[in-house]
Amino acid sequence: MEVSLSSYSSNTEPRIYKVAGPVVIVENLNGRMYDVVLVGHNKLMGEVIEIEGNKSIVQVYEDTELIKPDDPVENTGTPLSVELGPGLLASIYDGIQRPLPLIAEESSFIRRGVTIPALSREKKWTFVATKEVGDTVKGGDAIGYVDETANFRHHILVPPYTKGTIRDIASGEFTVTDTVCTLEDGTSLTLMQRWPVKKHRPFYDKRWPDTVLVTGQRILDTLFPLAKGGTAAIPGPFGSGKTITQQQLAKWADADVIVYIGCGERGNEMTDVLVEFPELVDPKSGSPLMDRTVLIANTSNMPVAAREASVYTGITIAEYFRDMGYDVALMADSTSRWAEAMREISSRLEELPGEEGYPAYLASRLAEFYERAGRIETLSGGEGSVTVIGAVSPQGGDFSEPVTQNTLRVTKTFWALDAKLANRRHFPAINWLKSYSLYQDQVTPTLERSYPGWVANMKRLMELLSREDELSEIVQLVGSDALPEDQQMTLEIARMVREYFLQQDAFHDVDTFCPLEKQYMMVNLLLSFSDNAYRAIELNKHVDEILDLPSRPMIARMKYERDYKAYSKKVSTQIEKDFNELFGGEKE
C-alpha cells in the first residue's frame, strides 16, 4: 500500500499496528503463541493468539480505550499463568487472578492497568518441613505444609517436572516468595509456584469415579447422582434457577475445596455470593464456607477476553488443590458466556464462523475443559479429584443450540432445568424425565451398603414419575375423574413425591441441605404410604379417604424437620396407625 508512514516511527521495536476492541495487532513482536504481552503505555495485559508474518494478533484483557497505533508493546515471554500457593483460599479474583478486594481499596470501580499480585507478598506463613536434607524428591511430592486455615492443610508440592536431592530445607515463617528448600542442583523452591492456565497439570493416572458427591439436594443425590471427579451440565433458560442450583452445590457439596467461577454473570449475584459465603458455616468443619472457597468473578460487563481466561484460571487452581490429594468441586456459571467470549473474539479476528457464529473450535475447547475433570492418582501416588459442574445458558431455552449439544457430548450427568417447573415455583426446577446420570451404576454400590434398598427405591420413584407422565396425557383428554381408582392413586402419590420430596426450598434453614440419611428416610416413608395406599384401594377404599389420612400432611412437613430421625419414626408409626384404622374390621 502506498501510504506514507512518515508520521510513524520506523524502528523494529514491537509497535501497535491496529486496534479493534479487545483485538490488537502488533508489529515486530517476535513472540510465541499465548505469550503474555503488555500493551500500550498503561501496560494492559494481553495474550498472543495468532501470528502472521511480522504481525501478531493479541487479545487484551482490559478495555483498549485510547490505545493508539504505534504505542509500545512489551513481551513478557511467558504464557498466562496463575500463582499457586498459600493464600488462595477465601480469595476473590477477577478472570486473570487479580484480587478484587485489594483493587477495591483504591476505588469502587475497576480501573485499567491495575497490577496487584494474586498472593500477598507480605504475609508470612508458618511452614513445617516434612522432608529432610538428603531426601530425594520429584514433582508432586510434598516437602512440607502450611496450615492455611484452622481446618485446611496446604501441602507444599515440588512443581511438576522438577526433581533432585534436598540440599537445604527449614521450617519457619516465610512469605510466598522466600526460598524454603534448595535442591542439590541449585533449584530453589518457594511456597508459591506458577502454572500456565491453558495446560493441564500432570498426574499419574486417571481412575474410575465411584464415590458420590453428596450435594444435599434430594433430586440430585437420590435420582441423578454425580460422582467425585465427574462432570455435570446444568442447562436451562433464564429464570429456571441455574445460578441458585450452582450456589447450592457450592455451599453444600461435600468437597474439600470449592472453586466458583462467575463467568460473565451478574454483578449483584456475585455480591450475593461474596456476602453470603462468609456467613455460612460448613456442616463438616464448622468454619465459614468461604474458608474452603476460591471465587473467580468476571461479571458480564468486565472485559470479554478476561472472561475467556477466567474458566482456565479456575480449573488450574482446582487442579493444584487436587494434586495435594483433595476433592475439589468446580462450578462454572455460565459456560455459555465463556463460549460467547470465544465467539466474540473469533468474530473480531474475522475467522470463518461455525454454527450460530460460534468458532469452529468450540467443541474441542469445551471437551478440553471438561477433560480436566477426573479422579486421579497424583504424581506422588495419592488420590484427588476435580468435579466440574458447568451451567449452560442456551439461547431461547433451546437445548439444540451448539453450546448445550457440545457440552452434553462430554459431560456424563445432565440436570435439565425446565422453565415450566420454574414458572410454577417448583424448585429446584430440574426435569426428572429429561435428566440423567451415567454415574448411577458406579456410585450406588457404596450407597446401597449404608442404605439398603437405595437402588430399588430410586427405581420405584422413577417408575412412578414416568407413569404419572403417561397418565397425565390421558387426563388431558378425559379428565382425572374418568380414571380408575388405582390410577388416580398413582397420580396422587406422584404428586406427593413431587411436592414433598423433589421440591426443596433453598432459602429454608433446614430444607436447604438434606443429608443422605434423611433423603433415604423420606423415600421410605413415601413408599410405605404408597404400598399401603394401593392395598387400601384393592380393599375398595376410596382415594379421597386415603388422602384425608393425617399421616399424609405429616410426610409433607418432614423436609422442614431438623430432628428428622425422631420425626421419621413418628410419621412411620402414624402411617401404620392410619391404615390399620382404615382397614379396620375388614381384615380377615
Partner 1 sequence: MKEYKTINKIAGPLLFVEKTEPVGYKEFVTVTLSNGETKRGQVLETSKDYVIVQVFEDTQGIDKQTYVHFSGEIIQMPVSGKMLGRVLSGIGTPLDGGRKIIPEDKRNIQGEVINPYSRTRPNEFIQTGISTIDGMNTLVRGQKLPLFSGSGLPHNEIALQIARQATVTGEEESFAVVFCAIGITQEEAKQFINEFERTGALQRGVVFLNLASDPSIERIITPRMALTTAEFLAFDYGYHVLTILTDMTNYCEALLEIGAAREEVPGRRGYPGYLYTDLASIYERAGLIKGKSGSVTQLPILTMPGDDKTHPVPDLSGYITEGQIFVSRNLYRKNVYPPIDVLPSLSRLMNSGIGKGKTRADHKALSDQLYAGYAEGLDLRGLATIVGKDALTSRDQRLLSFADTFEKRFVMQGRDENRPIETTLELGWDILSTLPEDELTRIPGDMLEAYYRRETTADEGD
CB of 314 to partner 1, least distance (A): 15
Q: How far apart are the C-alpha atoms of 105 and 116, rounded to whole Å? A: 12
For partner 1 (CB under 8 A), the number of binding residues is: 87
Check binding of 33 to partner 1 (CB under 8 A). no
Stretch that binds partner 1, among 146-154, 191-199, 325-333, 352-360 (CB under 8 A): 352-360
Q: Judged by CB, which is closer to partner 1: 114, or 455? A: 114
Phi (first) and psi of residue 348, to 5 degrees = -70, -25
Check binding of 340 to partner 1 (CB under 8 A). yes
Looking at residues 225 to 244 of the shown chain, list those that interact with partner 1 (rule: CB under 8 A).
237-239
- Is residue 466 left, alpha or beta, with left meaning phi > 0 and alpha meaning psi from -120 to 50? alpha
Q: Are 193 and 362 in contact (CB under 8 A)?
A: no
Looking at residues 158 to 197 of the shown chain, list those that interact with partner 1 (rule: CB under 8 A).
none
| Single residue of 12, 177, 301, 580 touching partner 1 by CB under 8 A | 301
Check binding of 272 to partner 1 (CB under 8 A). yes
Q: Judged by CB, which is closer to partner 1: 288, or 397? A: 397
Q: Judged by CB, which is closer to partner 1: 171, or 472? A: 472
Cell, residue 69: 497505533
Q: How far apart are the C-alpha atoms of 317 and 85, rounded to whole Å? A: 9
Half-sphere exposure of 419 (CA within 13 A, CB side): 11
* C-alpha distance across the termini of the chain, in Å: 103
CB of 490 to partner 1, least distance (A): 15
Please spell the DSSP secondary structure of 121-140, one letter per residue. SS--EEEEE-S-TT-EEETT
Q: Are 18 and 54 in contact (CB under 8 A)?
A: no
Looking at residues 460 to 479 of the shown chain, list those that interact with partner 1 (rule: CB under 8 A).
475-479
Site string for partner 1, 418-457 (x = CB under 8 A): -x--xxxxx-------------------------------
| Single residue of 101, 134, 283, 453 touching partner 1 by CB under 8 A | 101
Check binding of 46 to partner 1 (CB under 8 A). no
| Single residue of 132, 279, 286, 507 touching partner 1 by CB under 8 A | 507
Check binding of 539 to partner 1 (CB under 8 A). no
| Single residue of 473, 481, 509, 588 touching partner 1 by CB under 8 A | 481
| Single residue of 266, 365, 467, 570 touching partner 1 by CB under 8 A | 266
Q: Judged by CB, which is closer to partner 1: 150, or 477? A: 477
If residue 15 lies in a helix (H) or strand (E), which one and from where to where?
strand 15-20
15 vs 9, 44, 61, 91, CA distance in Å? 9, 14, 18, 36
Decide: helix, strand or coil at residue 321. helix
| Single residue of 108, 173, 540, 581 touching partner 1 by CB under 8 A | 108
565 vs 37, 228, 504, CA distance in Å? 60, 27, 19
| DSSP state letter for 515 | -
Q: How far apart are the C-alpha atoms of 522 and 519, rounded to whole Å? A: 5
Q: Are strands 81-84 and 193-196 parallel, antiparallel or unpaired?
A: antiparallel
Q: Judged by CB, which is closer to partner 1: 150, or 352? A: 352
Q: Judged by CB, which is closer to partner 1: 64, or 316? A: 64
Q: Judged by CB, which is closer to partner 1: 306, or 324? A: 306
Q: Are 370 and 393 in contact (CB under 8 A)?
A: no
| Single residue of 38, 92, 315, 537 touching partner 1 by CB under 8 A | 92
Q: How far apart are the C-alpha atoms of 498 and 199, rounded to whole Å? A: 44
Q: How far apart are the C-alpha atoms of 110 and 112, rounded to whole Å? A: 7
Q: Judged by CB, which is closer to partner 1: 72, or 159? A: 72
Check binding of 277 to partner 1 (CB under 8 A). no
Check binding of 542 to partner 1 (CB under 8 A). no
| Single residue of 215, 393, 404, 574 touching partner 1 by CB under 8 A | 393
**What is the residue type of 551?**
S
| Single residue of 181, 197, 226, 270 touching partner 1 by CB under 8 A | 270
Of 122, 126, 63, 118, residue with least CA distance to 96? 118
Stretch that binds partner 1, among 146-154, 177-185, 292-300, 362-370 (CB under 8 A): 292-300
Looking at residues 357 to 386 of the shown chain, list those that interact with partner 1 (rule: CB under 8 A).
357
**What is the residue type of 138?**
K
| DSSP state letter for 360 | T
Check binding of 18 to partner 1 (CB under 8 A). yes
Check binding of 31 to partner 1 (CB under 8 A). no
CB of 308 to partner 1, least distance (A): 11
Check binding of 11 to partner 1 (CB under 8 A). no
Cell, residue 279: 456467613
Q: How far apart are the C-alpha atoms of 79 and 364, rounded to whole Å? A: 20
Q: Judged by CB, which is closer to partner 1: 53, or 585? A: 53
| Single residue of 117, 139, 202, 353 touching partner 1 by CB under 8 A | 353
Q: Judged by CB, which is closer to partner 1: 351, or 368? A: 351
Site string for partner 1, 402-421 (x = CB under 8 A): -----------------x--
Stretch that binds partner 1, among 247-255, 283-291, 299-307, 454-462 (CB under 8 A): 299-307
Place of cell 484427588: 384
Check binding of 70 to partner 1 (CB under 8 A). yes
CB of 465 to partner 1, least distance (A): 17
Q: How far apart are the C-alpha atoms of 504 and 46, rounded to whole Å? A: 44
Cell, residue 438: 451415567
127 vs 72, 83, 187, 256, 323, CA distance in Å? 42, 18, 18, 21, 18
Q: Judged by CB, which is closer to partner 1: 448, or 499? A: 499
Q: Are 332 and 389 in contact (CB under 8 A)?
A: yes
Check binding of 302 to partner 1 (CB under 8 A). yes
Query: C-alpha 292: how far from its chain's center?
Result: 14
